[in-house]
Amino acid sequence: MLVKICGITTPETAIACFEAGADMIGLVHFAPSQRHLDLPELADITYTVAPLRESGKQIVLLVVDKNAQKIMRILDVCDHQFDFVQFYGNETDAQQLENHVRVLRPVRDETACARLLEIQAGMECSAMTGFASDSEFQDNVSSANPEVRSLKPEACPAPRYVVELAPGLYPGGNGLSWDWSNATPFCRKFPSLLAGGITPENVAGAVRLAEPCGIDVSSGVESSPGVKNMAKVKQLIQNAKMSKT
């Protein structure tokens, strides 16, 4: 079970989260967010934790409405220390970035979940009958997830999607709970992080309901926006790692 702690705002917190057992940290570059980091702050954190990437720890850059050129500038400034870009915005640009960094795509509503599952079902049928693959599936799924398959609960593949089927003011990270079981069919097919309203108290239940390959948490382990409560972080990681799907 992968654990991503998002909305990290200081190098000290980044190190502490990794030492507590987090697999991934998320850094937000989106000015309206209370967890926004400017370029020097991003570079400072990525430089500080860069040695930990050698042990498999991963860093995620979250951006909103940034084109590929602007994102590449951020990657350059940070010496390409990001393992993923969590991309909220133009999907065409997201595809362009996949030559340079892995992309985490948001899935924000049940219609999107259903459509991707429908496209995949058509792709699997085409593979069995020998027909050409669906170009829309290639654009929306295959390029982002070259190993689409049914996932075993114990598997921890690299995530490709962040599923958060909850309303909110911001593109992600609103901290609102929702019926995580609605994501189960999607998470069984696509390597996905589950997000939205997850806390140390409910993480085990969320994992059992949705069966994701990992979780993405920010406000659920904070004392105030952008300030992580390390006791909550440690408890959440422990509970998530011990949870059974």
At residue 71's C-alpha, the angle toward residues 22 and 112, to 5°, is 70
Residue 8 pLDDT greater than 70, yes or no: yes
Q: For residues 52 and 69, give the distance between their C-alpha atoms in angstroms, rounded to a whole number.
A: 27
pLDDT in tens, 174-210: 567 789 999 999 999 999 999 999 999 999 999 999 9
pLDDT band at 173 (very low <50, low <70, confident <90, very high): low
pLDDT band at 146 (very low <50, low <70, confident <90, very high): very low
Q: For residues 148 and 171, give the distance between their C-alpha atoms in angstroms, rounded to a whole number.
A: 25
Q: For residues 21 and 148, give the distance between their C-alpha atoms in angstroms, rounded to a whole number.
A: 27
- Domains in the chain (CATH in brackets) are 2-242 (3.20.20.70)
192 pairs with which residues across the strands?
A: 161
Q: Which of 100-109, 141-150, 168-177, 234-243 has the highest mean pLDDT?
A: 234-243
What pLDDT does 216 receive? 96
Q: For residues 181 and 208, give the distance between their C-alpha atoms in angstroms, rounded to a whole number.
A: 9
Residue 120 pLDDT greater than 70, yes or no: yes
